[in-house]
Amino acid sequence: MKRIVPIGPYHPLQEEPEFFKLIVEGEKVIDLEINIGYNHRGHEFIAQKLTWDQIPFLVERICGICSDSHPYACVMAIEDAAHIEVPLRAQYIRTIIGELERIHSHYLWLGLAGHFIGYNTVWMWVWRYREPLLDLFELIMGNRNHYAINKAGGARRDILPEDYPKIEKYLDLLEEKNTMFTKAVLDDPVIRARLEGVGILSREDAVAYAVLGPTARGSGYAIDVRKDEPYDAYDKISWDMIVCEEGDVLAKAKVRLLECFESIKIVRQCLKNMPDGPIENRVEEIPAGEGIGRHEAPRGEVFHYVRSDGSNYPIRHKIRAPSFMNIPSNEVAVRGYSIADAALVLAAVDPCYCCTERTVVYEDRKPKYSGADLLRLSWQKTETLRRRYKR
């Protein structure tokens, strides 16, 4: 007999409001319904009311965990539209902050994954070593989160040479602790029993659902913007892409933990090779045209598109966050596992609902509006507006 187990929208397991309907038979999950929209704030609309210089501050507030990734992709899109080069030093600064943020995000996920399997020791432990990193952010940029380091044409703040030893010192601590976590998490029989062989997403499914980031790399699908289309300092230093074949939750944890080592490697090299010079090129004006920016956020590729008509404001700003692609893959990953595993599997893609929120209207389990319907509605609205303003 089918039963429905609701999770959310305000559930102690979740940080954010989202609603899952687990359709179960006994203990086994046979289907999943995802209902989001509790977090919709209308960023793309607000962006059209802000000037080019203000937009990075807005997109930063899409998500607090990847608060460097969105502005990063956004300023890359603006730079693409304005055809400007970024000074070398600014490129290195951005790369360093991007990688430090990846470590902070992966640690956050690891801690929460520990919390989800009822292993709070892992949570407390990992978050304890996340704290010095936030101190480092505060040292460099003045805030623990929402760093505002990215600016069209360069970086907003410089990393002072006297801060290098502090960063190095933290990286040493981090490398030691990351080795410990990797050993602890991957060798612990309890964690292994909970994570191994759970929530398997096969490579075919990963490709079919177009998943991104560690979710894809954990399923043996090697995709990473930093390697595929290198930007900023990523092609000037050596690092490896981490790919695991298994596709279960343990593989995703493994990818994230090993990626932290790569991030440490990248930051070390960047600090060593950091060139001198200016940290920003002044952007005089943004000509009419369009630009795209792609950045590998901790969860996968984040994509920004801007269109300019030559004025101070963008006329279109489109955002696609990685979780938007990753969350639907839960449908196949969670099927066939027990309810106890479901919470973990749903969290395994490191979902970020505040990045994802789009408004979808559902009726009888089916989207009410298809693409064609939305087009028709949009035409209707244009028509009414035209009539109202008599153009």
Binding of residue 117 to other proteins (CB under 8 A): no
Out of 16, 79, 296, 350, the residue judged to bind other proteins by CB under 8 A: 16
Binding of residue 164 to other proteins (CB under 8 A): no
Closer residue to other proteins, CB minimum distance, 4 or 124 = 124
Instruction: Report, in Å, the least distance between residue 246 CB and other proteins.
Output: 29
Measured N-to-C along each axis, helices 88-116 and 164-187 cross at an angle, to the nearest 10 degrees, of 30
Closer residue to other proteins, CB minimum distance, 124 or 377 = 124
Nearest by Cα to 119 from 353, 350, 343, 349: 343
The three state secondary structure string of 120-168 is: HHHHHHHHHHHHHHHHHHHHHHCCCCCCCCEECCEECCCCCHHHHHHHH
Peptide bond into 161 cis (omega under 30): no
Each residue 67-86 as x (binds other proteins by CB under 8 A) or -, in order, gives x-------------------
Closer residue to other proteins, CB minimum distance, 70 or 89 = 70
Instruction: Report, in Å, the least distance between residue 359 CB and other proteins.
Output: 8
Binding of residue 146 to other proteins (CB under 8 A): yes
Out of 4, 5, 30, 124, the residue judged to bind other proteins by CB under 8 A: 124
Phi and psi at 4, nearest 5°, equal -115, 125
Binding of residue 339 to other proteins (CB under 8 A): no
Binding of residue 127 to other proteins (CB under 8 A): yes
Give me the residues paired with residue 5 across strands. 22
Binding of residue 15 to other proteins (CB under 8 A): yes
Interface with other proteins: number of residues (CB under 8 A): 36
Instruction: Report, in Å, the least distance between residue 381 CB and other proteins.
Output: 13
Closer residue to other proteins, CB minimum distance, 62 or 73 = 62
Instruction: Report, in Å, the least distance between residue 15 CB and other proteins.
Output: 5
Contact stretch for other proteins (CB under 8 A) within 139-147, 171-179, 232-240, 245-253:
139-147
Instruction: Report, in Å, the least distance between residue 272 CB and other proteins.
Output: 30
Instruction: Report, in Å, the least distance between residue 348 CB and other proteins.
Output: 18
Nearest by Cα to 360 from 26, 1, 37: 37
Out of 145, 182, 202, 281, the residue judged to bind other proteins by CB under 8 A: 145
Binding of residue 58 to other proteins (CB under 8 A): yes
Task: Please enumerate in sequence order all residues whose Cβ is within 8 A of that of 120, keeping only pairs 6 or more positions apart, or say none.
Answer: 114
Instruction: Report, in Å, the least distance between residue 334 CB and other proteins.
Output: 22
Give strand ranges (E) for 286-373: 289-297, 300-308, 314-320, 362-363, 366-367
Closer residue to other proteins, CB minimum distance, 120 or 370 = 120
CA dist 302 and 191 (Å) reads: 31
For the chain, the C-alpha Rg in angstroms (whole number) is 22
Closer residue to other proteins, CB minimum distance, 18 or 296 = 18
Strands 19-25 and 28-35: antiparallel
Q: Which long-range CB contacts under 8 A does 119-125 form with residues at least 24 apart?
A: 119/190, 119/191, 119/194, 122/184, 122/185, 122/191, 125/181
Out of 28, 83, 128, 376, the residue judged to bind other proteins by CB under 8 A: 128
Each residue 29-48 as x (binds other proteins by CB under 8 A) or -, in order, gives --------xxxxxx--xx--
Contact stretch for other proteins (CB under 8 A) within 142-150, 210-218, 219-227, 304-312:
142-150
Contacts of other proteins in 165-204 (CB under 8 A): none
CA dist 112 and 325 (Å) reads: 21
Instruction: Report, in Å, the least distance between residue 378 CB and other proteins.
Output: 15
Instruction: Report, in Å, the least distance between residue 119 CB and other proteins.
Output: 14
CA dist 244 and 250 (Å) reads: 10
Q: Are 98 and 237 in contact (CB under 8 A)?
A: no
Q: How far, CA to CA in Å, does 232 sit from each of 14, 137, 149, 151, 303?
A: 35, 20, 15, 14, 16
CA dist 40 and 64 (Å) reads: 15
Sites of contact with other proteins (CB under 8 A): 9-10, 12, 15-17, 37-42, 45-46, 49, 57-58, 61-65, 67, 108, 111, 123-124, 127-128, 131, 144-146, 352, 354, 357
